[in-house]
Chains A and B, each alone.
Chain A
Amino acid sequence: MMNKKNIKLLKPSVFFILIFSIGVSCKKKGCMDPNASNYDPDAKKEAPCEYTDFDKSEMLTNICDNYIIPSYANFNTQTSLLKDKVTAFNNSPNTNSFVELKNQWQETLLAWQEVSFIDFGPAEYILLKNQVNLYPIDTALISTNINSGGNYNLESATNYDAKGLQALDYLLHQPLLNDQQHVDYFTNSSNAASYLNDITNDLTVNSQYIVNEWHSYQTNFKNGEETNAQGSPVSNLVNGLCSYYETYIRKGKIGLPLGVFNGFSQQEMPELVECYFQQQSLPSAIRAMESLKKYISGISYSTSQDGLGLDDYIAFTGATQNGSSLSVVINNQIDLIIDNLQQLNDPLSSEIMSNKPAVNECYSKMQQLVPYMKVDMTSALGVLITYQDNDGD
């Protein structure tokens, strides 16, 4: 009985072998692969394809050595300089040293924007983004801490919204106070002066921690090229980038204050902008987007030399969006966002109220980048935004 069945069922298999051989012999000859280095769209005769192999390890090494390490080093330098300026100001409080302190705060904030989206590994262990630049800050808690006379633990998560660069934004740009009045405020309150010193010191501790950790972390990062599975460097890089962009740039910097997430009323929430007290939110947003573009493109932090980056990796996979190369589409979208941001005016908190259509337009450009990165980029790179294995269906 079994033999009969066998013969019967062998027939279709012979049939499939036939189909297979026909299929192979009919396959169009010529190098039809747009990813090949010798790709010729008009080729009609057979020409063997040549490929430049994509070196993932080289990409990781480039991103690590030429962007991550130097940008973190710079952030660490800036926080140290900030600490120096705070010390200088506390030693001789006057409007000159105060303006110097404010300028260095601005530099440090911009240096932060350049590393903010490296949101994995050491930065993730200590929730760096929450410790360095959480907003809106809690001004009441800051006052309570200052008045407590040193009785606070800045490492505690409950104090994350009373410290960091945004707490400094408040302390250095208190409403209705001019420079001289700020100087007076800190000279009259030794508690406030030491709080200024403590939260600046906290920044240096965290930035130094990151630099130290990357010293050892980079070995695994550069050599983790075998897979893009969860926990691999490529997966960490892409997941950190996507989630930071989606939540902290698109939503945090523009969407939330614009009211997109504010229920049915969609009422603007201008007090949610970054640097609400300085009233200069756009430089940070623009710097974040410019740096994000460099990071994706594998451009060197210090020399601006273009090395292997995620954009080259995406190009290697041949992923397209609406007929164009995905890496080009993403790049253009980032340019468009920067362009839109540059057309807005600070203070952003007023612009949201007075020029809402322009901010809406900018937000919708930022929104469009989310599926490009979260859907198209992740699937091109074979990166899952997931925690559990699946069989692909």
Chain B
Amino acid sequence: MMFLSTIRFISNGWVKDLYVLPKYYFTYYGFDWVKPFSENSMYLMFGLLLICSIFIALGLFYRLSASIFFIVFTYIELIDKTNYLNHYYFISLISFVLIFLPANKYFSLDTYFKFTKRQYKIPAWNINIIKLQLGIVYFFAGIAKLNYHWLFEAQPLSNWLKHQTDLPLIGGLMHYNETAFVFSWGGALFDLLIPFVLLSKKTRIYGYMFVIIFHGLTSAMFPIGVFPFVMIISTLIFFSDQFHEKIIRFLKTIFRTKHRNKNVKETKEKFTLNKFSYFMLIAFISIQLLLPFRYLLYKGNLFWTEQGFRFSWRVMLIEKVGYAQFYVHEPKSGRKKLINTNDFLTGQQEKMMATQPDMILQFAHHLRDHYSDTTIIEKNGEKIYLNKPKVTAEVYVGLFNKGSKLFIDPNVNLSEIKRGYHSKSWILEYEK
């Protein structure tokens, strides 16, 4: 699965577009040291991901492959927050969890080559933690949908669906506002309930049908890449071990392996975690449970300010577009220069930045550093020395098609504002 995804990434030329061409990268606060390597090394990284994903699937040098996969994948994602997607975060988390799971103990080449002892039983928490991880994704995506815009305005769906009137079968329903409400409420309920439906043996199969329908539909309607397929495959984990046995048996007949099946009997085995692992497990889970709620610490409308928005499973929640113009000021004369953003950023970076205050600030700082202590020769021959220039931005943002308006204070000197997780008071208020 990850193999195909990586292939898709490379074949679309995205390695070059995202990690070679940009001259500037929007790093994460605290991770500013993460920088891309040369073009060839970046391709090498993606090659490494390919190899690791094959090895993980085959169960060869499993633990090493999983570790490398996690490190390389996370490294690539940390380079530039322009490319942040919830499902990349999901993949990072899962690959982290996989490092600690003995997924190579039964049906794998590691056991075939006797690198590790075959083991028929693994502690239940190994499976449950992945179930929990998936459950968190769905449940929090559901909680995130419990907001005024989603539930009572059916936004952004009511707008998006209007462009879907040409879908086969259901296309004709798309221009009714009721349809948007059904989809909104249905989507929220689906996300909130599906983890529990999948947990219960009785309802599991129906739940999985819903998973396929839900993700199939979203995949047909929106350009959201591999996410639906990742989820469809991942949720198979909820099925019983007998179900997976069948798949393995099927695979074995295909490859005619000589391994004979031994019947695995369900026996409960006592299992104790040592204290350290126990602590780590709790920490890992509770961080994830708390992160999505950090937005409560910030003032203002979450969708407008996006403070505490990332890493919270907020998927397909907002329709937001922005347009930003930056000015570098010469403090002495009060004159300012309009910056051509294309000189510094790619189109995708510019688009993502225009709606996200932390990125606007980062770019303003980049401009400050770029122009600090430089002499600029104007077209008319005038020389202008900039010590520490003032940087301002005029940004228009439209949220939920309510009309674009000024997003941040156009007079505030961004070059003097510190980055970080404190509240950004220079974001103008969002009035409904």
Contact = CB atoms under 8 A, between A and B. Distances in A.
Interface of A: 2, 5-6, 9-10, 12-13, 16-17, 20, 23-24, 27, 33, 35, 49, 51, 53-54, 56-57, 225-230, 260-267, 269, 316-323, 326, 329, 370-372, 374-376, 378-382, 384-393
A377 to B, nearest CB: 9
Contacts of B163: 227-228, 381-382
List 8 tightest A-B contacts by C-beta distance, closest first.
Answer: A321-B403, A371-B396, A389-B223, A392-B316, A375-B404, A319-B401, A379-B321, A382-B163
Given A13-B193, A53-B165, A387-B347, A264 B401 contact: no
Contact of B185 (A23, A54, A228): A23
Contacts of B222: 392
8 contacts: A261-B338, A263-B378, A264-B330, A319-B159, A376-B403, A380-B159, A389-B223, A391-B224
Contacts of B337: 263-264
Given A265-B380, A316-B162, A391-B86, A20 B185 contact: yes
Interface string B104-141: 00000000000000000000000000000000000000
Contact of A262 (B227, B347, B379): B379
A151 to B, nearest CB: 33
Contacts of A12: 192
A143 B347 CA distance: 38
Given A23-B185, A393-B309, A320 B86 contact: no
Interface in B321-346: 321-323, 330, 333, 335-338, 340
Nearest to B200: A6
Contacts of B396: 371, 375
Given A49-B176, A267-B380, A320 B401 contact: yes
B340 to A, nearest CB: 7
B416 interface: no
A388 B404 contact: no
A24 B321 CA distance: 31
B315 A264 contact: no
Given A225-B166, A382-B162, 18 more contacts: A13-B192, A20-B189, A54-B165, A226-B166, A228-B163, A261-B340, A371-B398, A374-B321, A376-B321, A379-B320, A379-B398, A385-B347, A386-B348, A386-B351, A391-B87, A391-B225, A391-B315, A393-B309
B403 A386 contact: no
B249 interface: no
A2 B315 contact: no
Nearest to B162: A317
Given A16-B192, A51-B176, A392 B317 contact: yes
A16 B145 CA distance: 12
Given A16-B192, A16-B193, A385-B347, A265 B335 contact: yes
Given A13-B193, A393-B315, A263 B404 contact: no
Given A13-B192, A49-B176, A53-B165, A370 B323 contact: yes
Interface string B180-192: 0100010001001
Contacts of B351: 384-386
A263 B379 contact: yes
A267 to B, nearest CB: 5
B269 interface: no
B319 interface: yes
Tell which of A13, A35, A381 has the most Cβ of chain B within 10 Å. A13
B402 interface: yes
Interface in B370-417: 376, 378-380, 382, 384, 396-398, 401-405
Contacts of B384: 264
A389 B401 CA distance: 21
Nearest to A53: B175
B252 interface: no
Nearest to A391: B224
Q: DSSP class of B's interface residues: helix, strand, loop or mixed?
A: mixed
Among the interface residues B165, B227, B384, which one has the most CB atoms of the partner chain A within 10 A? B165
B3 interface: no
Nearest to B174: A53
Contacts of B200: 6
Contacts of A379: 159, 319-321, 398, 401
A308 to B, nearest CB: 14
Contact of B196 (A9, A226, A262, A372): A9
Nearest to A321: B403
Contacts of A266: 335
Given A317-B159, A321-B404, A382-B159, A393 B348 contact: no
A209 B314 CA distance: 48
Nearest to A319: B401
A322 B403 contact: yes
A371 B397 CA distance: 8
A389 B199 CA distance: 32
B32 interface: no
Contacts of A321: 403-404
B206 interface: no
B318 interface: yes
Nearest to B199: A6
B160 interface: yes
Nearest to B384: A264
B266 to A, nearest CB: 13
B85 interface: yes
Nearest to B164: A227
A376 B404 contact: yes
Given A375-B404, A382-B160, A267 B379 contact: yes
Nearest to A228: B163
A379 B379 CA distance: 38
A267 B185 CA distance: 56
Contacts of B160: 382
Contacts of A269: 379
A376 B382 CA distance: 39
A67 to B, nearest CB: 22
A393 B314 contact: yes
B94 interface: no
A286 B335 CA distance: 31
B17 interface: yes
Given A264-B337, A392-B224, A320 B403 contact: yes
Contact of B227 (A56, A229, A387, A391): A391
Interface in B35-94: 84-87
A12 B403 CA distance: 37
B27 interface: no
Nearest to A19: B146
Contacts of A227: 163, 166
B323 A371 contact: yes
Nearest to A371: B396
B288 interface: no
B268 to A, nearest CB: 10
